[in-house]
Copies of this chain bind each other. A is one copy, B any other.
């Protein structure tokens, strides 16, 4: 009985199980809740047991980034995508790719913060970047322009641009007293707030549509890059 119970119950700990549990904790309670002890508890195991499968916590964090980009890879359809894009429409293909990555980020809001804290290039992340470069290069951009564009896109390339990191309530519109003191010390900011809120009266709190903001900034960047690509061609 002891034997059968044990063989039935005991699911062996693996790198994958650890990473899956870690991701679940981050999804549910945020990155701060992801401690070795909490992780072990969720796995039905003692904290130090994890160290047999992963060298340290940083390896877990890097593994989480790896998993996230694996999910992004599944979402955006891998490297075969660039073949589907008609020549010249790199613009739309890249747009779709980035918005695909963004969908994954929205499912796992802790990824942006994690990426900024650990500056590493895990394999699945490298492949994502590689696919992005492929789209642009197939579209006729020079590597030099692509290189600059990646810098210009910055974290937007991964489907986020800082606002994802902030919680929703931090963008809440200020109330009456706050606005009064604001008008004194930061008059232009106050004026903008009033103007924007008045234009869209049903949004007294959470007055920014993140998705709209994101696409606005994204399109400016994409337009600017496209314009520079034309210039580059004309010069040759």
Contact = CB atoms under 8 A, between A and B. Distances in A.
How would you classify the secondary structure of chain A's contact residues: helix, strand, loop or mixed?
helix
Interface string A22-55: 0000000000000000000000000000000000
A148 B188 contact: no
B220 A225 contact: yes
A180 interface: no
Nearest to A151: B213
A59 B223 CA distance: 42
Given A116-B165, A170-B119, A225-B220, A189 B133 contact: yes
A167 B118 CA distance: 11
A127 interface: yes
Given A186-B129, A189-B130, A199-B144, A216 B151 contact: yes
B151 A187 contact: no
B166 A119 contact: yes
A150 B147 CA distance: 24
A230 interface: no
A151 to B, nearest CB: 4
B213 A220 contact: no
A146 interface: yes
Q: Classify chain A's interface size.
A: 35 or more
Interface string A122-137: 0100110111011001
21 contacts: A116-B116, A119-B165, A126-B186, A126-B189, A127-B185, A129-B186, A130-B186, A143-B192, A143-B196, A144-B196, A148-B212, A148-B217, A151-B161, A154-B156, A154-B162, A154-B163, A220-B221, A220-B224, A220-B228, A221-B224, A224-B224
Interface of A: 113, 116, 119, 123, 126-127, 129-131, 133-134, 137, 142-144, 146-148, 151-156, 161-163, 165-167, 170, 182, 185-189, 191-192, 195-196, 199, 208, 212-214, 216-217, 219-221, 223-225, 227-228
